[in-house]
Amino acid sequence: MALPDGRTVSCWEGGDPAGSPVLFHSGTPSGRLQATLGHEAALRTGVRLLSFNRPGYGRSSDLPPGLAQVGLDALDVLEQYDVEWFAVLGISGGGPYALATGLADQSRVTRVGVAAGVGPWVLLDETVPDDRERPLVERFAAGDADAASGLADLAAEEFAWLAPDLTDDEIIDGFFGDAPPVATEWLDATARLRWAADTRDALDRYDGYVRDNLSWGATWDLELGRLRLPCHLWYGGGDRVVPPSHGAWLRDQLPDADLVVRPGEGHGTTAFAHLDEMFTTLTS
């Protein structure tokens, strides 16, 4: 799909074609095909599910870091799908972009959902010894544009295992091999296939991954206090990737936010095991 400024975005649509529209902002590092994990839940709950690759993922054009522009892109994408009003759900690294979409036009967005959504982690999380990413995010936030190249180098190192000829199982093992079985119960055989397909599509380059980290790692280009829409925040009490403190921070910034912390649940379970409930809440 072509955007008004000439950039292109790769899009996906699923769920119930006649259902209530919900825009899905994928996690990091992922693209539009992560939304396929919610296809059946969308069918069951009467949701027309739409998603697109953010800048730098797959074939979507790259763009300098920032959250607000992706919210504006979302409006353009939904307009071309002939969708006037819609709810939005952001998963993990997609959470800030869901909020950006709500702020982009509060007359078109009806509700905002954030599941295990990351906050400005450099400001919220304690410093971890030997963290090579934090200094680069801090440098970029302070105006050092060259820090982006350092993050790109780290990304290439982190995903060096992701060879083009990997099987689906090898891709899954690369992401989840060290996770305890209880943390991946949501990842059934169908979800494994879809996760691998999304990885191949989104991570043929690392521009989007780097851009995400620079966009929400430190200070945001959003005024959350202006977002008057109902916001639903879902977090896992056992999530070590994005702890509930991120949800508490968001709740405190937003005028109308409801925070639910699911006891003991980890990151993937919080994000993907409750899609029926989240879709129903967002479209009720």
Mean pLDDT, range 186-196, rounded to an integer:
96
How far is the C-alpha of 270 from the C-alpha of 260, rounded, in Å? 10
Handedness of CA 55, 57, 61, 65 (dihedral sign): positive
Tell me what pLDDT residue 79 has.
97
Distances (CA, A) of 53 to 10, 60, 77, 195: 5, 6, 11, 14
Mean pLDDT, range 114-134, rounded to an integer:
95
At 6-31, the pLDDT tens digits run 999 999 999 999 999 999 999 999 99
Which of 238, 281, 267 lies closest to 95 in space, CA to CA? 267
Mean pLDDT, range 236-261, rounded to an integer:
97
Mean pLDDT, range 168-185, rounded to an integer:
92
> What are the residue ranges spanned by the domains of the chain?
11-283
Task: Judge whether 4 and 70 are in contact, CB under 8 Å.
Answer: no
How far is the C-alpha of 246 from the C-alpha of 236, rounded, in Å? 11
Q: What percentage of the chain exceeds 90 in pLDDT? A: 96
Which pTM does this prediction carry?
Answer: 0.97
Band (179; pLDDT cuts 50, 70, 90): confident
Band (70; pLDDT cuts 50, 70, 90): very high
How far is the C-alpha of 156 from the C-alpha of 159, rounded, in Å? 5
CATH code at 11-283: 3.40.50.1820
